[in-house]
Amino acid sequence: SKDLTKKEINQIFDEVKNYISENNITENAYHNNKHMIDVFNNSMTLFDEYQKEYELTENDKLYLGLAPLFHDFNHSGGKLKDDENIELALTALKEYLDSTNKSGLYNDIKHIIIATEFPHKDINTDILQKIIRDADTMGGITDDWMSVVKSLGKEYNKTLQEFIPTQIKFLNTVKFNTDYCNGLLANNKESIIKELEKMS
């Protein structure tokens, strides 16, 4: 299908943001609409970073924007295994696309969403899958890392003190797929770990 214009794409993004705020009614402390919007914003940052190098199109941008806005839709907040969470998200995506006459986008978006299953499966990832994986896990190394730690701990029913070692382990072992995120990690890791250790 022909590429949409930037304006048309941004209009769809706005519609979907409204749609999830009205339809994804979740009590989750972390896997909620704020998280999906954060991952959307991270994905767009990384899209801009890699668009030229990988000759990404406006349609790629559309798929990459819609994937994070659905990737944790109806997330169980730890009650189900992640492959089951993904199935719930894909069902919600399909419902939305069918109701807005966009069913043709389903497979391209699904392809990106399935890469977010955690722990990550060892698959050959394309650039859009690499981007969403990094966008999904980079919250712990951005300026917003503190709220990520607090809400993740809460969702896992752990106190901040109990959860801090898990987060430190994450920072010490995480490997991102993009140079952009590995650079961010290299710059921020030590200072974030210092802060976490002070809090523990």
In tens, the pLDDT along 32-71 reads 999 999 999 999 999 999 999 999 999 999 999 999 999 9
What's the average model confidence in pLDDT over 64-89?
A: 97
The residue type at 117: E
Q: What is the pLDDT of residues 104-144, one digit of tens each?
A: 999 999 999 999 999 899 999 999 999 999 999 999 999 99
- The answer to whether residue 193 scores a pLDDT higher than 70 is yes
Helices and strands per DSSP (H, E), number in the chain: 9, 0
CB half-sphere exposure, 111, CA atoms < 13 A: 12
Give the C-alpha separation, 132 to 12, whole Å. Answer: 19
Residue 145, pLDDT score: 97
Average pLDDT, the chain: 96
Give the C-alpha separation, 126 to 152, whole Å. Answer: 28
Find where tokens 């399935």 sit: 114
Give the C-alpha separation, 192 to 171, whole Å. Answer: 9
What's the average model confidence in pLDDT over 58-86?
A: 97
- Which DSSP string corresponds to 133-182? HHHHHGGGGSTTHHHHHHHHHHHTT--HHHHHHHHHHHHHH---SSHHHH
pTM given for the model: 0.97
Q: What is the pLDDT of residues 166-182, one digit of tens each?
A: 999 999 999 999 999 99
Which residues have CB under 8 Å from 89's CB, separation 6+?
A: 70, 71, 72, 73, 74, 75, 113
Residue 1, pLDDT score: 59
Which residues have CB under 8 Å from 182's CB, separation 6+?
A: 175, 176
Give the C-alpha separation, 35 to 137, whole Å. Answer: 10
